């Protein structure tokens, strides 16, 4: 039995947390490959080491004195080293980091040191071999992951070692330049390692007892999901359930390796099992609810739009030409609405509007911002009639105006658009109807 265990920043934020992780790893010999994140928040107003590193590097680039921030980062690590009773010193490492900051080694290099240093500590603490992710996670020149080469490098290297620590979040190009994944990317490293060593399970240890039906920051005491399919999870993580990076699913999914989300602070809880498919019936009609803020709806009206061949293509071309991705596109007879991310759209807004006018000659174009999208996801929806009705009724009861509804043809999810101000109450109302009262 071989397990890959990834510990998130909250699980490694202090010596106490490290000890909990250590106990978990030592309690099963199968937990042989450990992927640590950088130290996260110790309390809600704390700063993650990754953010401290970004700040520090930005100060260095702005030719400001960055030594104080760097020392504060080193203090975080020293506190962990001392708390664990280790005798290692990171002085040399911090000297090198300082020099590389001055040499402008890059923002990715800076951020990656969070995981790199935590990996060194973890390997000393466990007595496992340290494998630098720069040697085994390969990025192409354009900054995208090369999964074929990565797979080969990882399996070749890990074949030689039975117990190893591989820091998460970063890798390198062929020439050694460090590249990181997007935020939360240590989850992807864990998944790549699990695939490379053909793990029996990929355990992802965090600060919640699994994937919860709704974001616990919105629904207090949200229940956890026992079993979820990769497909359902993909929908939920894409829509903002941040517990697992949305790209972490692909490597393990290829090989059918289950992911088990577990809680470092409650290791006896079984957490959530993420699998390819399951005959286990979900407890509720829905598996989960997730949402994202910050959308703009662009509504285009033109009489007889439906009979004008090529109208949609012309409009969509304008978004493509401006490099803006489209999230959803509900349409009517004489209208079509395009949902885009505000942060991508805002700057190019006038260019896009002018483009639509010249390409498609509409009667009217209207923008509505501050919208949120909420996905209600569940493999159980197909077998239950009236899900959409219950969604509308829950939202109507909570006095929430539904701006858009979109049901995927797979019947795996229903997406509703609401105003930003209604976002939290909409999620609460949906949780209430599907989980609490189960009407
Ligand atoms: N549906 C959900 N289930 C569980 N946690 C969620 C969900 N949606 C958002 N979260 C948030 O994700 C956090 C865990 O992810 P993250 O902060 O990346 O952890 P880690 O530092 O362990 O990688 C939880 O503390 C919780 O606040
Ligand atoms: N430390 C990185 C990568 C990461 O995956 O962290 P965490 O496991 O704490 O989400 C970040 O903050 O983005």
For every residue of 140-180, DSSP letters joined together read -TTS-B-HHHHHHHHHHHHTT-SSEE--SSEEE-TT--EEE
Whether 69 is covered by a domain: the verdict is yes
With a pLDDT cut of 90, the percent of the chain lying above it is: 84
Whether 194 is covered by a domain: the verdict is yes
Which domain does 68 fall in, by range?
3-275
* Closest to 288 measured CA to CA, from 250, 241, 328, 244: 241
pLDDT at 420: 95
SS3 60: helix
SS3 333: coil
Q: Ligand 2 atom 3: the closest Cα is on which residue?
A: 184
Residue 408's pLDDT band (cuts 50, 70, 90): confident
What's the structural domain count of the chain?
2
Whether 280 is covered by a domain: the verdict is no
State how far the Cα of 435 lies from the Cα of 70, in Å rounded to an integer.
47
Residue 385's pLDDT band (cuts 50, 70, 90): confident
Q: Is 9 marked within a binding site? A: yes
Residue 404's pLDDT band (cuts 50, 70, 90): confident
Span of 81-85, 299-303, 378-382, 391-395 with lowest mean pLDDT: 378-382
> Which domain CATH number covers 119?
3.40.1160.10
Residue 19 above 80 pLDDT?
Answer: yes
From 37, 53, 181, mutation site for ligand 2 pocket: most ligand atoms within 8 A of C-beta: 37
- Same domain assignment for residues 109 and 251: yes
Ligand 2 centroid from CA 247, angstroms: 13
Whether 281 is covered by a domain: the verdict is no
Ligand 1 centroid from CA 253, angstroms: 21
Which among 275, 307, 322 is the end of a domain? 275
Residue 174 above 70 pLDDT?
Answer: yes
Ligand 2 centroid from CA 10, angstroms: 9
> Which domain CATH number covers 339?
3.30.2130.10
- Same domain assignment for residues 294 and 252: no
- Same domain assignment for residues 9 and 154: yes
- Same domain assignment for residues 189 and 296: no
Ligand 2 centroid from CA 205, angstroms: 12
- Same domain assignment for residues 293 and 361: yes
Q: Is the CB of 243 under 6 A from ligand 1?
A: yes
The phi, psi pair for 46, rounded to 5°, reads -70, 165
List ligand 2's pocket residues with C-beta within 6 A. 8-9, 37-38, 40, 48, 50, 114, 168-169, 183-187
Across the chain, mean pLDDT equals 94
Whether 282 is covered by a domain: the verdict is no
Residue 285's pLDDT band (cuts 50, 70, 90): confident
- Same domain assignment for residues 420 and 294: yes
From 216, 266, 273, 377, mutation site for ligand 1 pocket: most ligand atoms within 8 A of C-beta: 216
pLDDT one-digit tens code per residue, 311-336 = 899 999 999 999 999 988 888 888 99
State how far the Cα of 273 lies from the Cα of 224, in Å rounded to an integer.
11
- Same domain assignment for residues 271 and 299: no
Which among 245, 275, 305 is the end of a domain? 275
From 243, 375, 428, mutation site for ligand 1 pocket: most ligand atoms within 8 A of C-beta: 243
- Same domain assignment for residues 106 and 201: yes
pLDDT one-digit tens code per residue, 229-264 = 999 998 998 898 889 998 999 999 989 999 999 999
Q: Is 177 marked within a binding site? A: no
Whether 283 is covered by a domain: the verdict is no
- Reduced to 3 DSSP states, what percent helix, strand and coil does the chain have, rounded to the nearest 5? 45, 20, 35
Q: Is the CB of 241 under 6 A from ligand 1?
A: yes
- Same domain assignment for residues 226 and 344: no
State how far the Cα of 265 lies from the Cα of 267, in Å rounded to an integer.
6
Whether 81 is covered by a domain: the verdict is yes
- Same domain assignment for residues 109 and 22: yes
8 Å CB contact between 174 and 139: no
From 13, 48, 180, 182, mutation site for ligand 2 pocket: most ligand atoms within 8 A of C-beta: 48
Higher pLDDT, 432 or 308: 432
pLDDT at 439: 61
Span of 301-310, 318-327, 347-356 with lowest mean pLDDT: 301-310
pLDDT one-digit tens code per residue, 180-218 = 999 999 999 999 999 999 999 999 999 999 999 999 999
Residue 438 above 80 pLDDT?
Answer: no
Ligand nearest to the CA of 17: 1
Which among 254, 275, 296 is the end of a domain? 275
Ligand nearest to the CA of 170: 2
pTM of the shown model: 0.89
pLDDT at 240: 87
pLDDT one-digit tens code per residue, 62-78 = 989 999 999 999 999 99
Whether 334 is covered by a domain: the verdict is yes
What is the number of other CB atoms lying within 10 angstroms of the CB of residue 177? 15
Ligand 1 centroid from CA 197, angstroms: 26
Residue 44 above 80 pLDDT?
Answer: yes
Ligand 2 centroid from CA 394, angstroms: 35
Q: Is 246 marked within a binding site? A: no
pLDDT at 380: 82
- Same domain assignment for residues 244 and 126: yes
Residue 228 above 80 pLDDT?
Answer: yes
Residue 303 above 90 pLDDT?
Answer: no
- Same domain assignment for residues 95 and 231: yes
Ligand 1 centroid from CA 174, angstroms: 33
Ligand 2 centroid from CA 122, angstroms: 16
């Amino acid at each position: 039995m071989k397990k890959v265990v990834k510990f998130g920043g909250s699980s490694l934020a202090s010596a106490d947390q490290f000890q909990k992780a250590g106990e978990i790893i030592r309690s099963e010999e199968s937990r042989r490959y450990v992927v640590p994140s950088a130290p996260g928040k110790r309390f809600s107003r704390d700063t993650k080491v990754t953010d401290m590193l970004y700040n520090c590097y930005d100060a260095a680039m702005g030719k400001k004195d960055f030594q104080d921030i760097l020392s504060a980062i080193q203090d975080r690590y020293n506190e962990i080293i001392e708390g664990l009773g280790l005798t290692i010193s990171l002085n040399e490492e911090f000297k090198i980091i300082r020099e590389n900051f001055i040499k402008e080694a890059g923002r990715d290099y800076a951020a990656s040191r969070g995981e790199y240093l935590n990996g060194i500590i973890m390997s000393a603490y466990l007595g496992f071999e340290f494998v630098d992710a720069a040697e085994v996670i390969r990025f192409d020149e354009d900054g995208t992951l090369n999964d074929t080469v990565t797979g080969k490098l990882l399996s070749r290297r890990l074949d030689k070692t039975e117990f190893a620590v591989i820091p998460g979040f970063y890798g390198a190009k062929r020439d050694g330049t460090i590249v990181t994944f997007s935020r939360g990317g240590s989850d992807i490293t864990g998944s790549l390692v699990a695939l490379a060593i053909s793990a029996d399970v990929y355990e992802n240890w965090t600060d919640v007892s699994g994937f919860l039906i709704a974001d616990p920051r919105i629904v207090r005491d949200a229940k956890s999901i026992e079993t979820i399919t990769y497909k359902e999870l993909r929908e939920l993580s894409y829509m903002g359930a941040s517990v697992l990076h949305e790209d972490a699913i692909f490597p393990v999914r290829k090989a059918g390796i289950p992911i088990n989300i577990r809680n470092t602070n409650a290791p006896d809880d079984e957490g959530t099992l993420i699998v390819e498919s399951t005959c286990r019936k979900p407890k509720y009609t829905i598996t989960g609810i997730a949402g994202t803020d910050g959308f703009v709806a662009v509504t285009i009206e033109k009489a007889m739009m439906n009979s004008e061949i090529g109208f949609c293509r012309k409009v969509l071309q304008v978004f493509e030409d401006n490099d803006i991705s489209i999230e959803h596109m509900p349409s009517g007879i004489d209208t079509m609405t395009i949902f885009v991310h505000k942060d991508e759209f805002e700057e190019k807004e006038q260019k896009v509007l002018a483009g639509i006018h010249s390409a498609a000659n509409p009667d009217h174009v209207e923008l509505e911002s501050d919208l949120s999208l909420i996905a209600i996801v569940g493999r159980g929806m197909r077998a239950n009639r009236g899900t959409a009705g219950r969604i509308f009724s829950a939202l109507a009861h909570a006095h929430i105006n539904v701006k858009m509804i979109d049901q995927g043809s797979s019947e795996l999810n229903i997406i509703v658009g609401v105003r930003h101000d209604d976002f939290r109450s909409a999620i609460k109302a949906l949780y209430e109807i599907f989980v609490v009262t189960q009407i």
